[in-house]
């Protein structure tokens, strides 16, 4: 039980030790392609639409379908409401393109 008397440093160490095991167990049941399909159907990551589109752009770039990539990138670019955000989006897209060429 976690309460006011919990030693947070010890709890953090216990969680850090368990994290690799938890991730390995989750990965047995959740595939990248499943998340891609969920996001393509309009689902989200639980954070912002921008974050969902960032994730989706990576997944579509890596696993396809390639014919969806330009649409996803267009939606991502539409999220660029500030100069800094537009720069970050373009840097992300450049990195995707660079990774796909390697």
Instruction: Give the tens place of pLDDT for each residue, 38-56.
Output: 999 999 998 999 999 999 9
The pLDDT > 70 percentage for the chain reads 100
The model's pLDDT over 28-38, given as tens digits with 9 standing for 90+, comes to 888 999 999 99
57 vs 79: CA distance, rounded Å: 13
Give yes or no for residue 102 having a pLDDT over 90: no
pLDDT of residue 92: 96
pLDDT of residue 29: 82
What is the pLDDT of the chain when averaged over all its residues?
92
- Burial class of 35 by CB neighbour count within 10 A (0 to 12, 13 to 18, 19+): middle
User: 57 is written with which tokens?
Assistant: 């752009």
Give the residue extent of every domain in the chain: 32-101
């Amino acid at each position: 039980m976690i309460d006011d008397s919990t030693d947070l440093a010890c709890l953090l160490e216990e969680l850090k030790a368990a994290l690799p095991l938890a991730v390995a167990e989750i990965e047995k049941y959740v595939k990248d392609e499943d998340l891609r399909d969920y996001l393509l159907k309009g689902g989200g990551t639980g954070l912002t639409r921008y974050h969902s589109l960032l994730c989706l752009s990576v997944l579509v770039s890596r696993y396809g379908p390639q014919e969806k990539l330009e649409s996803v990138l267009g939606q991502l670019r539409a999220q660029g409401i500030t100069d800094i955000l537009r720069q970050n989006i373009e840097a992300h897209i450049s990195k995707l393109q660079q990774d796909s060429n390697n």
